Structure 1
Amino acid sequence: MSKRAAESDKVEVPRKGGDRPEAMDIDDKTNEMGEFEDEFEDEFESEDEILEAGVDGRPDAEREAEEKEAMDVDSGPGTFIVGRTKLEPGQTLTPDPTTYEMLHNLSMPWPCLSFDVVRDNLGDNRKVYPATMYTVTGTQADSQKASDNSIMVMKLSGLSRMQRDDGEESDDDDDDDEDSDPILESKSIPLNSTTNRIRAHQTPSQDPSKPPTTLTATMTESSNVYIHDITPHLTAFDTPGTMITPQQNKPLSTIRAHKSEGYAVDWSPLFPAGKLLTGDNDGLIYATTRTDGGGFVTDTRPFQGHTSSVEDLQWSPSEASVFASASSDGTVRVWDVRSKSRKPALTMQVSSTDVNVISWSRQTTHLLASGADDGEWAVWDLRNWKPSAAGGSVAGKPTPIANFKYHTEQITSIEWHPTDDSIVAVAAGDNTVTLWDLAVELDDEESKDTAGVQDVPPQLLFVHYQQTAKEVHWHPQIPGCLMATGEEFSVFRTISV
């Protein structure tokens, strides 16, 4: 989890999905792409700070009573719960390094509301340190400096394991350098609007000697959606001296179908060439398809049904013509793109508040997770959703197979583990990213041990503190590795997953 430290710091009020945070203070000595921070440097001054039991001169009984009282606080009403317990004046949170296998933080010139992890050619299921990963994000520059906005293609390398002082040996004998310094490289694509959400998609190359084509779709505050080819930018990281031309920074296509801005965008995983869904604040959803000639065509007939803004979209991982949408009207709807009516096949009222995000399980494809404005997230079995005779809707709220009201603010991101259908990552406006294991069930004896910690579900595995947490993604090729964005970026891997 996290621990509390008495340090002076201003705690900001969590912001909802579409709000733009203020620019962060950046040291003049940092480059414009951001910098890594070492939170644990010089944490312990010397070994003299560690006192051995029994050397303080007190009777054993007195010392043992104090130790017992300190242990009892973990199960009593005074337990500090990250994201719930209010910090006292002058206090802030710092991570407990013993709970992380890897943790790196990265500050940026401007906050980033959304990002995506880009698959690479370094191999799957890799556990070797130092780690390398590629990502793409979009900035949220101040409204007075819209021209400062950009898409940032980034390479993060030298991501080392946490240093251990417990004498334990590494499980990975192939680690080259656990103490290497992290390195950030970045390529910027100018964008004259803030990014609301960005998603990446890769098209396999027909030539085995060439990398896949990596496309990004960027939903912006201007209501336009920009599609870029960032393949040259990714290639440039590993080809010294490569220059990006102005032409390579221009979008391949600009979708102008939306009349209002939006936050919902998703590429189909079952359409390699590129098939895109975009949704806006007017409740309209458009489909854009890449043609054989490499261009993009947007169907001008929108999918209609939501009575408020479309907050998120997810293609089915198993059925090429099916997708789901979440809306601030409190519903999740399931659609078939082959429908001539452009109406939903299923409509479920899953919350009395805005449904901000959804995630479709890649492993068990009848499971869909949703996160709402009231801090509740739930898992639904789509096999239990049945259409009515008229309109494809069902009255009332269905019963989820699991639901949790742990978070105290809106859910801003949710994502299933890429290979484990019981693990879910959730980000929320209470400044936390939580990891959950839906397979956990306590027996009677274990229930007694946890009875003192109120309102903490046994399925909760881990809590990571992330100021103004906005989005979280699992790395598909590094097991257990996550990246989250908020006031800054965090790349971490816990010892619990």
Structure 2
Amino acid sequence: MSKRAADVSDEQSAALKAGERPVADAVPDEAGEFEDEFEDEFESEDEILEAGVDGRPDAEREEEEKDAMQVDQQAFIPGRTKLAPGEVLQPDYSTYNMLHTLGTPWPCLSFDIVPDSLGDNRKTYPATVYAVAGTQAEGSRSKDNELMVLKMSGLSRTDKDGETDSESDSDDDDNDMGEPILESRSIPLPSTTNRIRAHQTPSQSGDYSKPPQTITATMLENSQVVIHDVTQHLTSFDVPGTMIAPSASKPLSTLRMHKSEGYALDWSPLQPLGKLLTGDNDGMIYVTTRTEGGGWVTDTRPFTGHTSSVEELQWSPNERNVFASASSDGSVKVWDVRSKSRKPAVDVKISNTDINVMTWSNQTAHLLATGADDGQWAVWDLRHWKPDTAAPGAQIKPSPVAAFDFHREPITSIEWHPTDDSVVAVGSADTVTLWDLAVELDEEESREAGLSDVPPQLLFVHYMQSVKELHWQAQMPGTVMATGSDGFSVFKTISV
């Protein structure tokens, strides 16, 4: 993101766009003719040509323009950089491979990307992304809330400034600079969506030639959890004539075990049929399992131990019976669903403020990253979270592998890169930041570069309003999708 000066008057701006130079108000001489303000300033035509169109030597003018460009293209870092009067933000398109913004009728607090059948490791354009999202309609319009099934297509490669048509064409033949297309199918919801997650499972009919069944779990503000089958809605985007049965908009199940609303929700990646974790503001965590017959059974014995709201739940990527929870009580706990006591196996106090979000590395199962209300985020090695045998039941107070206090606002979302455990995406208030934990830079180099207050691991800053949640599109390397108060951003940087 760069900032640009906007200090040219409307009349001067029009003149410059027309290839003219702005001139001062001319004053007529006694004979009624306008004086030439540059008359006799140069003795010969050669001197005039050497001076350039504005009466100054080319070298002098070029140096000034160079300085102006350096000022205009400063990086804007929220919380540290302030815009001067008349300055506005605009993206530096040369840093993006792709950048698109898409709006919806109501803001969405949460969304999830749906895996598709278009192939893995996709790098060609235009690109396509499928997702599900839940809306946040204004108070009196709560009846307008809906679960949105989305298809974003025509996502073209960014047209970088200064790139010629021949250069653009030579990169790939699929580059289409048309407008992106957002298609949607909706399912009515009775309340605002706090969190939504999608899960794909083999077809219950046993016919594996059919696409996988896609189900969603939505935590609502009214404390209910509703489960839907959105397979028909997704199919209707790409298979002409697909009819969406009225019954497809009805929940497969409505779970009512929570007595307060919640924001923590996660499907197990190791349970094909579907195993769901949900947590609420009372600190209660429940496990709901899908049966072979397609029904849903919730264990009525909650996991207890948090003294405040459960903000995040994550299943282990490699242990089917293990999950972690993060809470506004400042702790992270690790649990085993087979435990009869329903108490945590590991209890770690890591912050004096709310732990809002958490992510478990898919590549290195002992790495966990957390984001807190004070703007700090950290990476933890679970191998150091061993219970203290000398003090059974006591909370552990380990040190993080890495910690960053760059953000000035609460961390609202965090997610490891799908295939690179050194890269993390972080969302906070008005920014999405990308980090590479493998980068090292000594203090002397930082001072010389004038970046002493910017961590060397910071790869990229993407500005958007009120960031609520972000996810990597695992089938399109380096692609990030985020939601905020002004809609969705889908982007890919040249740095990842």
Give secondary structure in 1 for the equivalent of 2:248: helix
Q: CA deviation at 1:411?
A: 0.1
Higher Rg of the two aligned structures: 2
Pairing 1:215-226 to 2, within 5 Å after superposition: 215-226=215-226
Give secondary structure in 2 for the equivalent of 1:146: helix
Question: Residue 105 of structure 1 aligns to which amino acid in structure 2?
Answer: T
Paired with 2:66 and 2:476, the residues of 1 have a C-alpha distance of: 40
Question: Percent identity over the alignment?
Answer: 69
Pairing 1:226-375 to 2, within 5 Å after superposition: 226-375=226-375
Aligned match of 1:137: 133
Give secondary structure in 2 for the equivalent of 1:169: helix
2:166 paired with 1:166: no
Cα gap change, 1:105 to 1:57, in 2 (>3 Å) = same
Aligned match of 2:152: 156
Cα gap change, 1:3 to 1:91, in 2 (>3 Å) = closer
Q: CA deviation at 1:349?
A: 1.1
Aligned match of 1:489: 488
Q: CA deviation at 1:282?
A: 0.2
Q: CA deviation at 1:209?
A: 1.5
Q: Which consecutive aligned stretches of 4+ in structure 1 deviate over 6 angstroms post-superposition? A: 71-75
Q: CA deviation at 1:81?
A: 2.0
CA contact (8 A) 1:2 1:463 kept: no
Q: Normalising by the residue count of structure 1, what TM-score does the alignment of the two structures yield?
A: 0.85
Q: Deviations over 1:461-484 (max 9, x none)?
A: 000001011111000100111100
Pairing 1:134-213 to 2, within 5 Å after superposition: 134-164=130-160, 165-167=162-164, 169=167, 174-205=172-203, 206-213=206-213
Cα gap change, 1:5 to 1:332, in 2 (>3 Å) = farther
CA contact (8 A) 2:116 2:130 kept: yes
Aligned match of 1:449: 448
Q: CA deviation at 1:124?
A: 0.2
CA contact (8 A) 2:367 2:381 kept: yes
2:395 paired with 1:394: yes
CA contact (8 A) 1:110 1:141 kept: yes
2:415 paired with 1:415: yes
Cα gap change, 1:304 to 1:71, in 2 (>3 Å) = same
Alignment RMSD (CA, Å) = 2.6
Paired with 1:248 and 1:312, the residues of 2 have a C-alpha distance of: 29
Any stretches of 5+ residues in structure 1 without a counterpart?
8-44
Greater alpha carbon shift after TM alignment, 247-256 vs 82-91: 82-91
Greater alpha carbon shift after TM alignment, 170-179 vs 111-120: 170-179
- State the number of aligned residues: 453
CA contact (8 A) 2:100 2:490 kept: yes
Q: Deviations over 1:263-297 (max 9, x none)?
A: 00000001111000000000010000000101110
Q: CA deviation at 1:324?
A: 0.6
Q: Deviations over 1:336-356 (max 9, x none)?
A: 111111111111111111000
Paired with 1:448 and 1:253, the residues of 2 have a C-alpha distance of: 58
Paired with 2:128 and 2:5, the residues of 1 have a C-alpha distance of: 31
Any stretches of 5+ residues in structure 2 without a counterpart?
8-15, 22-49
Q: Deviations over 1:190-249 (max 9, x none)?
A: 001000010011113342310001111101100000011111100111122323222110
2:94 paired with 1:94: no
Question: Residue 191 of structure 1 aligns to which amino acid in structure 2?
Answer: L
Q: Normalising by the residue count of structure 2, what TM-score does the alignment of the two structures yield?
A: 0.86
Paired with 2:134 and 2:178, the residues of 1 have a C-alpha distance of: 28
Paired with 2:258 and 2:219, the residues of 1 have a C-alpha distance of: 10
Paired with 2:400 and 2:99, the residues of 1 have a C-alpha distance of: 34
